[in-house]
Amino acid sequence: MHTPVCDTLGIEFPIFAFSHCRDVVAAVTNAGGFGVLGAVAHSPETLDVDLAWIDEQTKGKPYGVDLLLPVNFADTASPLFPAEHVAFVEDVLARYGVPELPEHRQAPAVSLSVSPQAAGTLLDVAFGHPIRLFASALGPPPRDVVSRAKDRGVVVAALVGTAEHARRQQAAGVDLIVAQGTEAGGHTGTISTMVLVPEVVRAVSPTPVLAAGGIVTGAQVAAAMALGAQGVWCGSVWLTTQEAETDPAVQRKMLAATSGDTVRSRSLTGKPARMLRSAWTDEWESEAAPAPLQMPLQTMLTARAQQRINRSAGTEGSGAYQLATYYVGQGVGLMDRVRPARQVVEQMVAGYLAVAERFAAQLDG
C-alpha cells in the first residue's frame, strides 16, 4: 500500500486519521499512518501543550493539524442569543429531565477558532512544532497561510464536497485535496464518496486526492484507490478506539448504531454536519424549533446544554441518554467493537492486501 503521497509525507501507509484526541493522532502516526489533530476548539496554550505531547510520543514521525476556516461566520465579540433560541434549548432540557450542572462544573464560555485572526494565532503555535501538514476545512485557506506553510515545508491540504470546490482549492495553491463524501461525519456535503472521488480526481489532476466519507475497512481503502485516490482520510472509525476521548454513553450508542442512524443536522454548529440521530437532532427538526444560528453562535448557544446532557447520559434510557449525540459518519454501522488505533490501521492494511490479492487472482485467471 504505497502511493506518491507516502513519499511526500514520509509515511508507510496512506491512511490519514483526523481526530480531536491527541492520543489517537500519536497512535496512528506511530502505526505507520498519518495523524491529524483537529484544533478548532483549542486555545493557543492547550494546542501548544498537545503538540508538544505528540512530538514527544511520535519521536519525529510526521503528523498534521486541521483548522476550520469557513468563508462565512458570525461575529462573536458580543454574542447575544435570541430569547427564542435560549427558551427552546431550556425547554428541551426540561422536558427530557436533564439535571443542572453542579456549580463547580459550570461550562466555560466556548471559543471556536473559526476566524482568520483566531486561526492565524493557532497556526503560529502549530508552526512552532514540526508539523508536516496543515489542513483547511470549510473554505480555501488564505494565500498568506498557504505561503507561510510552504515556506516551512508544510504540505497544505483542504477538504471539499464538490468538484468546483476542489478546483478553487487547487487555484489557492493547495497541495492535497480531500474529497469528502456525504457519508462522512461532521461537516459534509450531499454527494456520495463513490461519485465524488473520481469526479474530483478528474477535476484537479495531477494534484493528489484522498478519499473520505464512510471509510472503515481495508476493502473500502482498496475501493478508494480504485477510484483514483492516493489514500484515505478517516475520522469516525477512531471514535470507537481505545485511545478515543468519546463520551462512554455516546460510544455505546455508536457501537449499537446502523448506517441509517445518522443525520445531517445544523443543531450543533449551525452548518450541516452528520451526527448520530437522537432526540436532540429530532427536536431541532421539529416545527417548534427555531432556525439554528450561524456558526459559531449555534455551538456557543448549545455548549452548556451539551455538557449537561453528556454528564447525565450514562444512565441508559434516561432523557439525557436519548438526547446524547456526536458527529459520526454512516460508516458507524461497521464499527461494532472497541479496538486499539494501531489495530485499526493494521486491519485496514490487511483488508486492502486481501482485495489486491483477489484482484490479482482474477487477472491471472
Residue 77 has pLDDT above 90, yes or no: no
Pick the residue with more confidence: 355 or 103?
355
* Banded model confidence at residue 74, pLDDT cuts 50, 70, 90: low
Contacts of 19 (CB under 8 A, 6+ apart): 25, 28, 35, 36, 37, 38, 235, 238, 244
SS3 state of residue 356: helix
User: CB neighbours (10 Å) of residue 260?
Assistant: 10
Residue 110 has pLDDT above 60, yes or no: no
* Banded model confidence at residue 145, pLDDT cuts 50, 70, 90: confident
Task: Give residue 210's pLDDT.
Answer: 98
Which range among 62-66, 136-140, 165-169, 310-314 shows the weakest confidence by mean pLDDT?
136-140
Residue 111 has pLDDT above 60, yes or no: no
pLDDT above 70: percentage of residues in the chain: 93
19's grid cell: 481526530
| Rounded Cα gap, residues 96 and 144, in angstroms | 48
Contacts of 207 (CB under 8 A, 6+ apart): 170, 174, 175, 176, 177
CA 276-282-285 angle, to 5 degrees, is 120
**What is the average pLDDT across 36-51?**
94
The helix-helix angle for 218-226 and 193-204 (nearest 10°) equals: 40
Stated length of the chain: 365
Residue 68 has pLDDT above 90, yes or no: no
Report the mean per-residue pLDDT for the chain.
93
Whether this model's pTM surpasses 0.95: no
| 39: exposed, middle or buried (Cβ count in 10 Å: 0-12, 13-18, 19+) | buried
Task: Give residue 47's pLDDT.
Answer: 96
Residue 94 has pLDDT above 80, yes or no: yes
Pick the residue with more confidence: 118 or 235?
235
